[in-house]
Structure 1
Amino acid sequence: MYHAIVRRKVRALWRTVGSGAGGYREAVALAAPDVHFRFIGDTPMSADLRGREAFAAWFERFEETFPGLHLTLQDVAVQGPPWNTTVATRLHVRGTLADGSPYENEVMQWVRLRWGHMVEDIVLEDTLRLDRAYRRQAAARARA
């Protein structure tokens, strides 16, 4: 029963977060004050951060860099007790870049919860595809 409740909450959260336009604030509100967030890779969006404020700042930067991207939850798996719950998600990213080109990517996320608070969030995305999109966004901004 507990896992079904968590899955339902994760699906609802990603409907909000994935729509953009500041929806990430709900995820930040669920984060523990010392949340550890890692966006794996070697791109300008990569991060290894601690704390709710740094987590929120990363999302703000992401939305500023990639306005209008939508993340759609494809699958969610939950295991563990309430004091050490693991949530794994598979997401699809879709949108249009500033130069008009389409962007699509796949994301895997690994989250650890303690009593309903996110204590760790690890995100893996195709970083080559993301880096190319980041460079296109930067070039479009430079032309504007």
Structure 2
Amino acid sequence: MWRTVGSGDGAYRQAVELASPDVHFRFVGDTPMGADLHGRAAFADWFERFQRVFPGLRLTLTDVVVKGWPWNTTVVTRLRVRGRLADGSAYENEAFQWVRIRWGRMVEDTVLEDTLRLNEAYRRQELANAT
């Protein structure tokens, strides 16, 4: 069974520690969570914001493909995203992640998630938290 991590358990810190100081992070899509960032601090800030907006979401790794050598490794993951939103509704989505690693340091991380579902969830979170 693959490990499931939650947005509130701080597991993202492992990814931040693995990142090179000039990591390029992209969360693809025209949503409030969309990002095109450079640097470890900006990478960590994005995860902290994600935790605030979506506390309790669980990410489950369902598939991994790895190729390359230590100086240029590509890792592709498939993730299941689940949880409850602030209004009590269920959230389910799927994401794919493309990571490039050089000598043990993540230099690029690109995430693709169904942006229509994500945008709707973001809107629900805003409405629920505004009351």
- With the shorter chain as reference, the TM-score category is over 0.9
**Structure 1 ranges of 4+ moved more than 4 A:** none
Alignment deviations for residues 53-107 of structure 1 (CA, whole Å, 9 cap, x no partner): 0000000000100000000000000000100000000000000000000000000
The structure 2 residue matched to 1:49, chosen from 37, 45, 48, is: 37
- RMSD over equivalenced CA pairs, Å: 1.0
Runs of 5+ in structure 1 lacking a partner?
A: 1-10
Alignment of 1:11-30 (within 5 A): 15=3, 18-20=5-7, 21-30=9-18
Q: Distance in 2 between matches of 1:90 and 1:26?
A: 18
The structure 1 residue matched to 2:111, chosen from 113, 118, 123, is: 123
Structure (1/2) with the larger strand percentage: 2
Structure (1/2) with the larger helix percentage: 1
Tell me what 2:78 maps to: 90
The structure 2 residue matched to 1:78, chosen from 66, 84, 88, is: 66
The structure 1 residue matched to 2:99, chosen from 111, 117, 135, is: 111
Structure 1 length as normaliser, TM-score? 0.87
Runs of 5+ in structure 2 lacking a partner?
A: none
Q: Distance in 2 between matches of 1:109 and 1:26?
A: 16
Give the share of equivalent positions with the same residue, in percent.
Answer: 71
Alignment deviations for residues 14-66 of structure 1 (CA, whole Å, 9 cap, x no partner): x37x2232110111000000000000000000000000000000000001000
The number of residue pairs the alignment matches comes to 129
